[in-house]
A and B are shown apart, each in its own frame.
Chain A
Amino acid sequence: MDGPTFPVETDLERLAAIVRSTDDAIVSKSLDGVIRSWNPAAERMFGYTAEEIIGRSIYTLVPPDLHDEESQILARISAGEHVTHYETSRVRKDGRRIDISLTISPIRNTRGELIGASAIKRDITRQRELEAQLRQTQKMEALGQLAGGIAHDFNNILTIIQGFASFLTRALPPGAQGHEDVQGIARATERASGLTEQLLAFSRQQSLKAEVFDLSPVVAETAALVERLLGEHIEVKVQLADAPAWVHADRGQISQVIINMALNARDAMPAGGTLTLGTFVDPVARQVVLSVRDTGSGMDAATRSRLFEPFFTTKPRGQGTGLGLATAYGIVTKSGGHIEVDTEPGAGSVFRVVLPARRPTPVTPSPAPSLEDLRGGETVLVVDDEPELVRLVARILHSYGYSVITAAGPGAAMVAFGERTSRIDLLLTDVVMPGTTGPVLAERLRGVDPDLVVMFMSGYSEESLPPSINGRKAPLLTKPFTPDGLARAVRSVLDRNAAERVPRTGSPV
């Protein structure tokens, strides 16, 4: 083997400068694993200064469970092998484990004898974290889609159960045999409907129902739920503002914020403690504050600084998603507010959700239309690929006086539209169907009759649907719906359209 050529002094200085300035840790060690050189990047990566570490064993940096692996690497180097881009873990001076990528090359002396190894180490902890976050995000996305799809199908089924149960309720007056049984079915359907709402919320397909409301009663109601969730070892207290705490947000989501914060507090009080939920109105700053205070372990500055990061969790792997506070943060900022946190190790934590105060919306109670007001004589074309749902909707609308044409899907609807012998006043169609979607069907039929009124019905929320048809937003009736809810929606859309429309003269059928 030829002996190495030694660089001139200026080249040595240049190489030394490169080693000092690189972001990769460059470490050399002897064949018995004693560290011989240590660059500034290694100091930053591992937390040891060169003075502290040179002369110590390389095993200082190796986690005990990886000692065998390091022995094997040393053996390979002693055999003259190179190790490239080997991914493993090491331990910093502060005990934190980091993921690194290693490239190790043997060092030979002028006689070609192996005398040690040089290692280039790159910290890939952040890269690993990002990869894990991406995997988690993709997993959550897939779960969300699955949950949304299940909720959609389930809403179809619930509409059918709810609708037919409602017919039975009408047919069986109180006291009649079977009346209570049917009421039981109706109650169970309502509970199931709540479950699908939760599924949709998880899949982020739930509509935001922002409104102005008094926060204090919502906190009081949620506190009752929180009490059951936290268990007996944690006392829940509620301190509400005397004045109404008007905010503009989605009630359900604000409840979710409280629950997420309460669950976080529970984990900070494994031995028990007190959770205090409160509201406070600041008329000067025009703010409403929701506070969640616990008497738990509190947080250090490092934890505090990453609190709202998605997937950040202090819990052992598999015991927390790290999404609770991130979700709360998202909801609050979406509602125009922010979250303040006061915490110290051992002194508990206070989360303050600060929301803009709003003026209460004056409510002019309009009398609910009577069932008689919901009747109509118009013709409705009902389209859904779920035959039982079509049958149910037709029966409901018939009972309110409407003429109904049914179609098993978009194609059949186009045929029915062509066969019509009188004007079709409303197209009531499902949105997601095999082949042609409801919006495309509406567009095609409006090509024939531009004045056709359209209403969609779907187990999906408004947010996940195409927003407009022919530049005009078509109303959406979300499933599950009750017979009265359907009649109300149909009457409302027909009346609104009649009021908006310029009187038609002799439009063709």
Chain B
Amino acid sequence: MDRHEHVVQLYGTDERLLARNVSRYLAEGYARGDGLLLIATPRHTDAFASGLAERGLDVPRIVREGRLAVLDAEELLGRIMLDGMPDVRLLDDLLAGELRRIRQRTGSPEICAYGEMVGILWSAGEFAAAERLEAHWNASMAAGGLRLYCAYAIDVLGQGWDSAAVTPILAAHSAVVSGGDDLCFALHRAMDDVLGEEAGPLRARLQSEGGEGVAPGEWLATGLAACGHARAGEILDRARFYQQFRPQPA
């Protein structure tokens, strides 16, 4: 990942993939000498910290040294929400001290952060609040010294997929972390099954419109959902099945 990026992962229900990606992202930040900030639910904190330990990091020590700070995302959200929207000045006040302490302890201006307050807001149906918070993160990152990994429990192939709602979220980030090879495989296989020879032209059209920084699987799914093709729903249903039960290559 390039420096000062604001990336997002739509992990659906695949929390193992999320834990693997986030712990790798944090471990890489640690190796660079960045400070680490984790704003996560206790369950995800547990998974990410275990992932860091499996990558050989001495978690109790780096916490003790102040190089990794952990905040409870739900608790922090509870403190900054006012009238259904995040109070971003309050958030800045609450985080300023934490960020300063981390920078002092590491001696580096760079902080590698993970945040899922936006994901929690999204899951609660608070789309506007999530967008507001994302916009604020982008503004904060403009000053430099912060890179951020966001995560949403959005299922790319899910029944509740809403392109109109998801597009602003994708647009708020500099890159979408890939949901893995399985997603691409499932989509391509489903398109071939449903459309046969017609799959090629549609695939080419969707890929030519490819969004910068968006992983191919996620982009293909977004494009399919939005393209208005008569059989798009059928393709996505089949892809969902293939993602869960990957068949042998045809």
* Chain A interfacial positions (CB closer than 8 Å to B): 385, 407-415, 417-419, 435-436, 444-445, 447-448
Shortest Cβ distance from B13 into chain A, in angstroms?
Answer: 15
Contacting pair B46 A448 (CB below 8 A): no
* A414 lies within 8 A of B51 (CB): no
B residues in contact with A445, CB < 8 Å: 60
**Known contacts A408-B42, A444-B60, A448-B61: A415-B70 contact under CB 8 Å:** yes
Chain B residues whose CB sits within 8 angstroms of the CB of A385 once the complex forms? 46
Between-chain CB contacts (< 8 Å), 9 pairs: A411-B48, A411-B51, A411-B52, A414-B50, A414-B60, A415-B45, A436-B50, A448-B61, A448-B64
**Chain B residue with minimal CB distance to A418?**
B63
Q: A411-B45, A411-B59, A444-B60 are in contact. List 6 more A-B contacts (CB 8 A).
A: A409-B46, A410-B46, A411-B47, A411-B50, A414-B63, A418-B60
> A418 to B50, Cβ gap below 8 A?
no
B window 31-83: CB within 8 A of A: 42-43, 45-54, 58-64, 68, 70
Closest Cβ–Cβ distance, residue B234 to chain A (whole Å): 36
Chain A minimum-CB-distance residue to B65: A418
| CA–CA, A444 and B60, complex, Å | 9
Q: Which of A411, A447, A448 contacts B49 (CB 8 A)?
A: A411
A434 to chain B, nearest CB (A): 8
In whole Å, how far is B51's beta carbon from the nearest beta carbon of chain A?
A: 7
Interchain CB contact under 8 A, B47 and A435: yes
Q: Are B58's CB and A412's CB within 8 A? A: no
Q: A410 contacts which chain B residues (CB < 8 A)? A: 46, 49-50, 53
Beta-carbon nearest neighbor of A385 in chain B: B46
Task: Please tell me if the beta carbons of A412 and B60 are within 8 angstroms of each other in the complex.
Answer: no
Residues of A near B62 (CB, < 8 A) are 418
Q: B45: nearest residue on chain A (CB-CB)? A: A412
Whether the pair A412, B42 counts as a contact (CB closer than 8 A) is yes
A413 contacts which chain B residues (CB < 8 A)? 46
Contact flag A409-B63 (CB < 8 Å), given A415-B70, A436-B53, A447-B58 = no
| A415 & B47 in contact (Cβ 8 Å cutoff) | no
* Docked complex Cα distance between A49 and B82 (Å): 100
Chain A nearest CB, measured from B73 CB (Å): 13
Query: Are A419 and B70 in contact, with the CB atoms below 8 A?
Result: yes
For residue A429, give the distance in angstroms from its CB to the closest CB of chain B.
13
CA distance A419 to B49 in the complex (A): 13
Contact B47 A409 (CB under 8 A): yes
- If A415-B45, A418-B68, A419-B70 touch, does A409 touch B50 (CB 8 Å cutoff)? yes
- With both beta carbons as reference points, the residue of chain A lying nearest to B23 in the complex is identified as A411
Q: In the complex, what residues of B have CB within 8 A of residue A409's CB? A: 43, 46-47, 50
- How far is B53's CA from A436's CA once the two chains are assembled, in angstroms? 9
Interchain CB contact under 8 A, A414 and B42:
no
Docked complex Cα distance between A418 and B51 (Å)? 16
In the complex, what residue of chain A is closest to B41 when comparing beta carbons? Answer: A408
CB distance from A388 to the nearest CB of B (A): 14
Given contacts A411-B51, A411-B53, A435-B47, contact A417 B42 (CB under 8 A): no
Contact with A along B146-170 (1 / 0, CB 8 A): 0000000000000000000000000
Chain B contacts for A448, CB-based, 8 A: 58, 60-61, 64
Report yes or no: A419 in contact with B43, Cβ–Cβ below 8 A: no
**Residues of B close to A407: CB separation below 8 A:** 46
In the complex, what distance in Å separates the CA atom of A410 from the CA atom of B46?
A: 6
- Taking the closest CB of chain A, its distance from the CB of B75, in whole angstroms, is 14
Q: Are A408 and B46 in contact (CB under 8 A)?
A: yes
- Sort A-B residue pairs by CB-CB distance and give the 8 closest, nearest first: A418-B63, A411-B49, A411-B50, A409-B46, A414-B59, A412-B46, A418-B60, A411-B46
Interface hub of A409, A415, A448 (most chain B Cβ within 10 A): A415
* Contact A414 B53, CB 8 Å, known A419-B63, A444-B60: yes
CB atoms of B59 and A418 under 8 A apart: yes
- The residue in chain A whose Cβ has the minimal distance to the Cβ of B51 is A411
Give chain B nearest CB distance to A505 CB in angstroms: 21
Interface core residue of B48, B53, B62 (most chain A CB under 10 Å): B53
Bound Cα distance A419, B70 (Å): 9
Residue of A nearest to B67 (CB): A418
